[in-house]
Amino acid sequence: MRRLTLSLLLLALLGLLSLGNSALLRSVSAQLNETLAQAEAAAEQGDWETAQALTQAARDRWEDWGDYLYVVLPHDYTDQVSVHFQEALELLQWGETAEYAASSGRLMAAVDHLSEAQALTLRNLL
């Protein structure tokens, strides 16, 4: 009986931790994308400095979570986001509106994908 209880408890714990991880990823993605959306809005207004500061802040936040994200996500996903951040920051420096908008879109999609791919949905299960 003890083995059964321990097994079921451990399984439940794994489930809870996994769900917690999904929730955390959703929260981190949402925060990053909110900041990136503000940066994109600032760039559209021509305020490149604000856009750059916001994007850098988002990147700093991304790097704060770096170790954890590399442990719980395939490295392809996390590497992609890092590359897109770099790309967006470079384009902001040059003030390239169209390219920056496209790059920002890709970055936000990649950030979204991090949490989406780990969400408990039928699409992901199948």
Partner 1 sequence: MIIALFRTILLYLLIILGIRLMGKKQVGELEPTELVLAMLVSDLAAVPMQDFGIPLLFGVVPIVALLCITMALSVLTMRSRRLRLLLCGRPSILIRDGKLLQSELKQTRMTPEELLEELRLQGVTDLTTVKYAILETSGQLSVLPYAREQPPTARDLKIPVPEPGLPLTVVENGQIYPENLRRRGLDQVWLQAELRRQQVPLEEVFLLTVDEARQVYCVRKEGTV
Q: Which is nearer to partner 1, 55 or 115 (CB)?
A: 115
State the CB neighbour count (10 A cutoff) for residue 45: 10
Provide, rounded to whole angstroms, the least separation between the CB of residue 102 and partner 1: 26
Spatial contact of 112 and 29, defined as CB atoms under 8 Å apart: yes
Q: Which is nearer to partner 1, 18 or 45 (CB)?
A: 18
Binding site for partner 1 (CB under 8 A): 1, 3-4, 6-8, 10-11, 14-15, 17-19, 21-22, 70-76, 117-120, 124-125
DSSP H stretches of helix in the chain? 2-44, 48-64, 66-72, 75-94, 97-116, 122-125
Provide, rounded to whole angstroms, the least separation between the CB of residue 71 and partner 1: 5
Q: Which is nearer to partner 1, 49 or 67 (CB)?
A: 67
Dihedrals phi, psi of 45, to nearest 5 degrees: -80, -5
